[in-house]
Every structure is written in structure tokens, then in C-alpha cells.
Structure 1
Amino acid sequence: MIRSKGIAILLIMPFSVLMAQEQLLSKEEAVIKALENNFGIQVAKNQVEIAENNSSVLNSGFLPTLTGNAGANYQRDDSTFEFPGQFLRDPETGANLLDDSGNPVPRPDTGLYKAEAQRYNAGLVANYTLFDGLGRFYTFKSLKEQYQLSTLQARETIENTMIQLFSVYFEIARLTENKKVQQQALEISKQRITRSEYAFEYGQNTKLDILNAQVDVTNDSINLLNTNQQLANAKRDLNVVLNQDLNEVFKVDTVITFIPKLKLDEFMAEAKLNNVAILQTDRNLAINEYDIKVSTSGYLPTLDLTGSYGWNLNQNAPSAFFPGVNVNNDRSFGLGARLTWNLFDGGGTTVRVKNAKIAYKNQELLKKQVMMEVDRDIKNAMAIYENRLNIYKIQAQNVLTNQNNFERSREQFQLGRITSIEFRQAQINLLNAQTNKNLAKYDAKLSELQLLQLTGQLLNVEL
């Protein structure tokens, strides 16, 4: 008997000490941490940033291009020039000069050493498309729509993460309340052992009552141990969602409030204007419409403007025939325009326009399907929410009934009018009623959040 009581105490003490050190993690704090740290949300934010960059004027094609180029070349030559069959001439008479023997004097070889030549050039070329059939104009608008679509996709990721967050958060809250209920049940079972021992000493019952109480203490201890393990696992799951240390210690808020029915009806009436799936189909429709216009731009001409500036410096080395240094320094300017009109491209533009129109029709059909599915999902979610809320109310009343039954059973048990088995059954009934009530409460709240997500109000209400 003493050993069983010791085991129960050891099971409770570490968790009691731990609870004293835990800080409350409110729903608001959990949401803030998830928005800042969750991996999926961070990836979604980066995707939005990429889409924003793509939709800027720098990616539109509206700005001109400017290309610069420059070059330099250095050359050094060492040369020897020979003049076979040529003779030196008198500069005045033009006659060949003769040596002492009366023979013409051959023209000597000429050497050219360290003959250096440099060439430098630089230029700028500017190109601008003045008109391209409005293709880039509609492409730019399409990129803007794609940016809006990416923000909606990020919002969808955030909403899904919020549902995941509160699924785990409410599971922790449910297990926390179940733990308190099981601790109370264990304490009652321990008191039964003490009472059974006193009664046995005074001959009012048998050893069997003590053994039954010990069995109940063992079962309650095991149930509490399992709940503690489930609670620790759930907290680690929440730490993953929040992207924080897996060993982070905290407790959660177990207070639940429900949104008034009138407010939910207002949300449902505006669901088609706020549902993220419907809004995404609207953006896709706009993108497909711009795709048609972009494809149609292929029927129109393109007008390009070009401007250029160039500079060249050539410094040539002296040669045998041009002994001086030859320097050329040139600057040039140029302006041009080019009109291109693809009068017939083999039918490619026509095919692209037809396919773009078909894609637009498909997107219209998809929107109708999505709107019908969203309408169905909202009605189903509302029905599930109302059903679970009613179950929660029934379970709350059931707890009161079983609490009253348990109190009366305890009085009767203390007076010896019912057996320990009957008292234990009343205790189990109360325990089941309390845990069922906890389950119903958080199931109803989670259903409410899912309804808010479908109506597009999940991120706009205080939870």
C-alpha cells in the first residue's frame, strides 16, 4: 500500500514542479510567433517578395537598354627592311652613287626597332522599343496580377498554418484540462485507500476494498502518466509550428469564447467576397485575360529606336615608307529607327490567341466550380460547427449531472450504503463526462475557426 502511494507521488511531483516554472503562451503570442518564425510562412513571404520584384517597372520592358563597350590594343614591332637590287641615288641628280671601284652603291638595310602602335575604342549603344503592339503593357499588368495572386497564396498558407497552430494549441489545452481531471481522480482514489485502511482496521470492510482502491490508484496513475506524455509530445509539435526550441516550456490558455451566431451569419453572407480560393480564381481570370491581349499584340508592328556614340583612337607605328607616327582620332554619333511588322508568321499568333481564349474559358468554369464547392464547404462547416456546439452544451450539462451523481455517491459511500465498485463507477462516469466535455469544447472551437477560414475572416477576428 505504501509503495503504491509512493509511486503516485513520484509520478505527480516532477510535473507539478515543472508547471510552477511554465509561462503562459497566449493565443495572441502564439499567432505572433508563428507569423514571424514558421518555416512555411517565411517561404510564402519570400515568394511574395519575388513576385513583387517581378512586377516592378525594372522587369516590364518599358525602360531602354544602354550598352557600353571599350577596348585597347598595344603592339610593338622590331623589323629589318631589305632593298635588293636598289642603289643609293644622288638626291640632286637622281643618278646612282658609285663606290671607289666605280660600282653602284647598294641601298643598305633599314632597321626599325621598338615600333609601338596603340588602338583605343569606346562606345555606347542605346535601344528603346517605342511600340510593340502593347504586348509589354499587358505583360506588365499581368505581372501585377500575379503579384496579387502570390499575396493571396501567402494568405492561404498563413490561414492553413493558423488552423494547424490552433489544432495543436487546443490539443494541448484539452490535455491540460484532462490532466487536472485525472489528478483529481487520482487524489480521490488515494483518499479511498486511506479510508479503506481505517475501515479495515475497525472491521468495517475486508481487505478486498483496500486492494480495489490500490488497483484504481494504479490505473489512475497510468492514465495520468500517459496524459503527461501526450501533453509533452503535443507541446513539441507546437514548438515545431512556432519554430522554437523543442524543449521550450510553457502552458496554454484554456479559456474559450465563441463568436455570436449573428456575426457568423454576416461573415457567411460576405464569404464570396472574402474567400481566398474565390479571390485566387478572380486573379487567375485577370491573368488569362491579359494573356489574350498579349497574344493579340503579335498582329501589330514593332517600332525600335537606336542611338549610338563611338570613339576610336589609332596610333600607328612608323614604317619604312611612313617614318612618322600616324594618329587617327575619330568620334561618331548615330540615330536610327526600325519598324518591324510580321505580316504572316505561319499562323502562330492565331493559334496562341485561340489557346489563350480557351484557357480563359476554362478558368471561368473553374471559378464556377470553386464557388459551388466553397458554398458547399461553408454550409457543411456551419452545420458541423452548430452540431459540435450543441454537443458541447449537452456535455457541459452532462458534467453537472455526473458531478451531482458523484457527490451523492460519495456521501452514500462514506455512509457505507454503496460499495466501492459503485462509487468507482460514479467516479469513472464523472471522469468520462469531464474529458468528453473538454473534447467537445475544443472540437467546437476548431470547427468555428475552420468556418472563419472559409468565410475569409480567420485573420480578421480576435481569437
Structure 2
Amino acid sequence: MRFFAHIVFSLFCMAASAQDSIIKPEYPFLSAEDAVAEALKNNYDIKLASNDLKIDENNVSLANAGILPSLSGTFSQNNNIQNSRQVRADGTVQELDNARNNSMQYGINLGWTIFDGFRMFARYDQLKELEKLGGTELKFTILTRVGDVLTTYYDLVQQQQTLKALDTAVVISRQRVTLADNRFTIGKAARLEVLNAQVDLNTDTTNFLRQKELYENTKTYLNELLARELTTQFRVADSVGIDDKLKLVDLMSSASSQNPQIQMALINKRVAELNLKQVKAARYPQIGVNTGYIFTESENSLGFARENSGRGLSYGISANINIFNGFLQKRNENVARLQIDNSKLIIDQQTQAINSQLISAYQTYLTNLELVKLEGRNVEIAEQNLDITMEKYRIGSITQIEVRTAQLNYVNAVTRNNSAQYQAKISEVTLKELAGNITF
């Protein structure tokens, strides 16, 4: 009994020591909320979408829509050197080689389109809709990247739990080797029992190292999503919290008003309608006014007027209307109407697709919740079975094969339980992402 107590004490000490080597306690703790906050601040895709939104915001202006007048300054100067010969009305002839003729003109001009068939106002409304579209695209990017971060984070939680289970398996196998070797030394077991225990230990160690490799690579990927130093070390939560209160009717209602893909389809329909207004504007006349103040100066080496200068105000009005352009106007309007019809079809298609994904994801969510309960009970049973098996193995009433079976059953039960919790959490994240409202 003292020998067995020593073995059990050694097992727990080694398990605790090995787990510390997997997840070092000095590593800073990273919660799911902190990971999301860091991604919102640093993720490159989110930054790019944010800058695109700023571009859309800057595009919303009266000048960009063509509503405001334009004011420009002008300057021109022309110089000529030529051999000139002039014959006047009285027959007098004047000739001059290398005669210089210089002219200069400068001033300011203002032009303003005061009516273009209301195209400018439709364009301004369209720019505002494009700004809304940019905001919705940013929201879609944020939801997608937050979903990626949470998926990767909880994958790490699952892998961390699996690592601990595999580590426990390694510790048990190492103790089996020690027990088998002690039994062989006192003549109660064959050499084959020691060799079998050593093979199982090597197998468990290999599985542990493979899982640790996957765990470290996933940490690197999460650092990439957070756009920070890829070798940053951290530790994640020990368990997965699952929201088991989601209702399909609430999710579908939320998706209809908040899902970014549906909202983008609705905005694109409005953009298409405003585009039709701009096309129809070509049926109306375009009227513009212009004015300016011009200074002119000229010098001529030959002629009646050797110098000439002037300044004054110029103003006018212009109008034009399309009378016939080969039926292009009708063609353009038909195309614009078809674009509106397509946008309506896309709204219906997108709504149906999102609802279909929600229904499928919700069914998966319910199944995963049931599996979490089932696998949780399996872990309890596997733990009890492993305890009983190890006790029987100590007194020599069962074979190593039975011990190995109980050991593998425990590891598999823990792994399936971790996977069930992870899949349930991913189902929850997917549903909230589709509904357009991932929250904590």
C-alpha cells in the first residue's frame, strides 16, 4: 500500500509538472473579449475596410455630385516672330523682318450647371447610399474577422484541453512502464509486459508532440489574425462557455434587419434606382451659366495698332438637349430597369440563403448541445473506469490490454467532449454571425 501511495503521488506530481510545461503560467492570459478587441484595433482587413469607408464618406459632397459652381483662373501668353508684309488700302506697302507679335490674356471664369434634369440631386443621394454601403461592408468584414478570431480562440481552448488529456495519458503510460518494470524485477511479470508498456508510452508521447505542434501553429495563426508579433506567447481560457438559450425565430428576425449581406443587397437596390434617375435626366435640357473677368494685352511690331489692351466682364448662358442619339437613351433606361430587377432578385436570393443557413446551423447547434451533455457523462464514466482499472492493475487482477483499453477510452472520451464543446461554441458563433449581432 505504501508503494501504491508513492506511485499515485508521483503520478499527480508529474501530471501537474507536465501541464505547467504545456501552458506556462507566466504567459499573459488572453481572453476571448481581449482577442476580439485587439483584432478590431489591429486586423489588416478591418483597417482596409475602414479606410474604404472613409473614402466613401469623403465622396459625399455637393461638389462631387456636380451641384456647386466651379471657379478657375486662366492665363495664356503667345509670342510670334515672323517676317511681315502688309499692303494697305491706299497701296502703301509695309515690310518688316523679325516682327514681334505678343499677346497675353488672364482672368477668372465661373461656370455653373443650374439644371441637368435633376441628375445632380440623384447623384448626391447615390453618394450617400454608397457611404451606407461602405459602412455595411465594414460591418460584414468585422463580423467575419471576429468570427474567425473566436473560432480560432476556442479551437485553442479545445486543443489545450486535448493536450492535457494526452499529457495525462503519457503520465499514466510512464507509470505503467515503471510498474511493469518493478513487477518484472520481482518476477511477477514477463519482459513482454514491459515492452508493451514502453510501446504504448512511445505512442502516447508521439500523439502528445503532434498535438503540441498543432497547438503552437494555431497560436501563430491567432497572432496573425490579431496583427501582432507572430511569436507572442499567451494562454487562453481553460473552458468554453456556451450560450444555450438561442431561439431560431429571434435569430431570423435579427438577420432580416442586421445581416450585412441582406443590408448590402437592399442598399444596392436603392443605388440602382438612383442610377435610373440619372439616366432619365438625359431627356431634359442641360442649362448652364458662365461669367468671368478677363484682362487682355497685345503688342504688334507692324500695323495700325502697335499696342492693345482691354479688360471687362463676360457672361452668358448655354443650353442643350438631346433630340436623337440613335435610341441609346431608351437602351440605357432599359438596362437601368433590368439592374433594378436584378437587385430585387438578389435581395430575395440573399434572404433565402441566409435563412437556409440559419435553419441548418440552428439544427447543428441543437445537436451539438445534446452531444455536449452526452460526452460530459461519457467523461465521468471513463474516469471512473480508469480509476477502477488502475486499482485492479495494481493488485494484478487484469491484463495490460485491459489497462490500455481503459486508458484510450478515457483519452477518447475527453477528446470527444472537448470537440463537442468546441463545435457547440462554433455553432453559436455562426448563428450570431448570420444574425449580424455577435456580442459577449
Q: TM-score, normalised by structure 2?
A: 0.86
2: CA distance, partners of 1:438 / 1:172: 11
Q: 1:168 aligns with which of 152, 174, 183?
A: 152
Deviations 1:289-317 (A, max 9, x none): 11221111111111101011101233556
Q: 1:422 to 1:256 in 2, by over 3 A?
A: same
Q: 1:76 to 1:280 in 2, by over 3 A?
A: closer
Deviations 1:5-40 (A, max 9, x none): xxxx9xx97982872442222212221222233232
Q: How far is 1:421 from its partner?
A: 1.6
> Does the Cα contact within 8 Å between 2:282 and 2:329 map onto a contact in 1?
yes
AA aligned opposite 1:52: E
Q: How far is 1:67 from its partner?
A: 2.1
1: CA distance, partners of 2:49 / 2:76: 46
Q: How far is 1:149 from its partner?
A: 1.4
Task: Show the counterpart of 2:262.
Answer: 278
2: CA distance, partners of 1:248 / 1:451: 31
Q: How does 1:125-204 map to 2 (within 5 A)?
A: 125-204=109-188
Runs of 4+ deviating beyond 4 Å: 12-15, 72-79, 112-119, 262-265
Task: Show the counterpart of 2:73.
Answer: 68
Task: Show the counterpart of 1:417.
Answer: 397
Task: Show the counterpart of 1:36.
Answer: 41
Task: Show the counterpart of 2:11.
Answer: none
2: CA distance, partners of 1:14 / 1:177: 10
Q: 1:431 aligns with which of 407, 411, 417?
A: 411
Task: Show the counterpart of 2:108.
Answer: 124
Task: Show the counterpart of 1:102.
Answer: none
2: CA distance, partners of 1:212 / 1:59: 79
Deviations 1:157-211 (A, max 9, x none): 2222222222322222221111111111111111222222322333332222222
AA aligned opposite 1:124: I
Q: Would you say 1:219 and 2:200 are equivalent positions?
A: no
Q: How far is 1:327 from its partner?
A: 4.5
AA aligned opposite 2:43: N
1: CA distance, partners of 2:249 / 2:380: 31
Q: TM-score, normalised by structure 1?
A: 0.82
Deviations 1:376-399 (A, max 9, x none): 111111001111121121111110
> Does the Cα contact within 8 Å between 2:176 and 2:197 map onto a contact in 1?
yes
Deviations 1:395-417 (A, max 9, x none): 11110111111111122222222
AA aligned opposite 1:347: F
2: CA distance, partners of 1:17 / 1:178: 11
Q: Would you say 1:393 and 2:373 are equivalent positions?
A: yes
> Does the Cα contact within 8 Å between 1:197 and 1:210 map onto a contact in 2?
yes
Report the count of equivalent residues: 418
1: CA distance, partners of 2:389 / 2:22: 33
Task: Show the counterpart of 1:338.
Answer: 318
Q: Gapped runs of 5+ residues in structure 1?
A: 1-8, 80-111
Q: How does 1:219-258 map to 2 (within 5 A)?
A: 219-258=203-242
SS in 1 for 2:235: strand
SS in 2 for 1:25: coil
Deviations 1:233-275 (A, max 9, x none): 2122222222223222222223322224256653333221111
> Does the Cα contact within 8 Å between 1:267 and 1:457 map onto a contact in 2?
no
AA aligned opposite 1:176: Q
Q: 2:53 aligns with which of 48, 52, 56?
A: 48
Q: 1:451 to 1:313 in 2, by over 3 A?
A: same
> Does the Cα contact within 8 Å between 2:220 and 2:230 map onto a contact in 1?
yes
Q: Would you say 1:378 and 2:352 are equivalent positions?
A: no
Task: Show the counterpart of 2:24.
Answer: 19
Looking at CA atoms only, which structure, 1 or 2, has the larger radius of gyration? 1
2: CA distance, partners of 1:252 / 1:409: 33
Q: 1:288 aligns with which of 265, 268, 272?
A: 272
Task: Show the counterpart of 1:456.
Answer: 436
> Does the Cα contact within 8 Å between 2:252 and 2:355 map onto a contact in 1?
no
Q: How does 1:254-269 map to 2 (within 5 A)?
A: 254-261=238-245, 265-269=249-253
